[in-house]
Amino acid sequence: MLLREVFQAALCDGTSNKTYAPFEGRQRSRPGARAGRLGASTQAVSILGHPPRPEGRCPRPGMILRGMILAASIFLSLQLWPLAQEKEESKEVKNPLGKDKAAIAAGREIYGSTCAACHGTTGQGGRGPRLADAVRGVRDMSDKKVFDVIKEGVKGTQMPPFSLPDTQIWQMVSFIRSLNATAIDEDIPGNVAAGEALFFGSGKCSECHMIHGHGGLIGPDLSNLGVERSAKKIEEALKDPSATIVPGFAWVSVVTRDGRSISGVAKNNSHHSIQILDLKGNFNFFLKRDLKEVVHYKKSLMPQPSLSDRELQDLLAFLSRQSMAPPPEPAKKIEHGKENTP
């Protein structure tokens, strides 16, 4: 009704009291019929609470603007309110079991008997999607959303609903969260200070890798490694660097037509050109027609580290703490009106 009022008001010329027929074309309406329509329209009472307009008069411009603003506000509110409610509900409901080890162990058993057939025993995926190893989609879901997916299933897919007690579903949520725990969420044993000294010292890791602006460019930046990778993945990369090569850091070497050899990592590679970051940190751009040879290696440019078990654990402890997020502020307690940092 409100939108019809606004549309009818827009048919006025804005300067006079004349009202135009909405769809008046070549055929003119009879005067009596037109007057009848205008007379009938003035009998309706506006939902804005204004009295009926006199026959043939247009609303004031201010009234038209207020009506349009109100109509737009009501429309946007109706569209956005359900989304806001869903987001607010997902934020409020947290897993009451959290990272409790007993809950994770119980959730692992329930998962093994109900979910492993589709998602894999360790969440690596199969008929169903992968749930482990810091999958961003799963990590970004709220606890309530994961709970609802398990309880209600996913319509239109093979994911069925599970009629389990809420406590058991929360235990499964705890277990799935543990599959996606990054290194910084885990309690990694080892001497962090010794690992840092090894990284920037005798281990020579900083010759290729950078942390918080210190180090080389030939390898991936590790400043946020503890948030991006699980401790298991970091350990695998240290023991076998060639197992997973990060895109943009593949080892390549070229020989130019004048006999020069350049080795490094391929940053941009197409059918016509290639850009290489060499071992000295210099960028080299080549057209493929100017090269005699291009060799792409399947191995990582990072050598196999020769570390003792103690050194490996210390380095893992140091790398697992790396995050771009600011460290949490120390807790403060107030004694006798003064703030003290314990």
Tokens (6 digits) for 20: 């135009």
Of the two residues 62 and 252, the one the predictor is more confident about is 252
What is residue 40's predicted lDDT score, i.e. its pLDDT? 46
In order of start, what are the domains of the chain with their CATH numbers? 2-88 (no CATH), 101-181 (1.10.760.10), 251-296 (2.30.30.100)
Q: Which residue type sits at 294?
A: V
pLDDT band at 5 (very low <50, low <70, confident <90, very high): low
Predicted TM-score of the model (pTM): 0.59
Compute the average pLDDT of residues 8-36: 48
User: Half-sphere exposure (CA, 13 Å, Cβ side) for 196?
Assistant: 9
> d(Cα 62, Cα 96) in Å, to the nearest integer?
54
Burial code (b: 16+ CB inside 10 Å, e: under 16) for 131-141 equals bbbbbeebeeb
> d(Cα 294, Cα 75) in Å, to the nearest integer?
60
Digit-coded pLDDT (tens) for 302-320:
988 889 999 999 999 999 9
Digit-coded pLDDT (tens) for 209-232:
999 999 999 999 999 999 888 898
The average confidence (pLDDT) of the chain is 80
164, 174, 140, 194: which is closest to 316 by C-alpha? 194
What is residue 222's predicted lDDT score, i.e. its pLDDT? 96
* Percent of the chain scoring above 70 in pLDDT: 70
Compute the average pLDDT of residues 134-161: 86
> d(Cα 171, Cα 202) in Å, to the nearest integer?
44
Q: Indicate the range of 88-102, 140-154, 323-337 predicted with least confidence.
A: 323-337
What is residue 105's predicted lDDT score, i.e. its pLDDT? 94
> d(Cα 71, Cα 297) in Å, to the nearest integer?
64
Digit-coded pLDDT (tens) for 104-135:
999 999 999 999 999 998 888 888 888 887 56
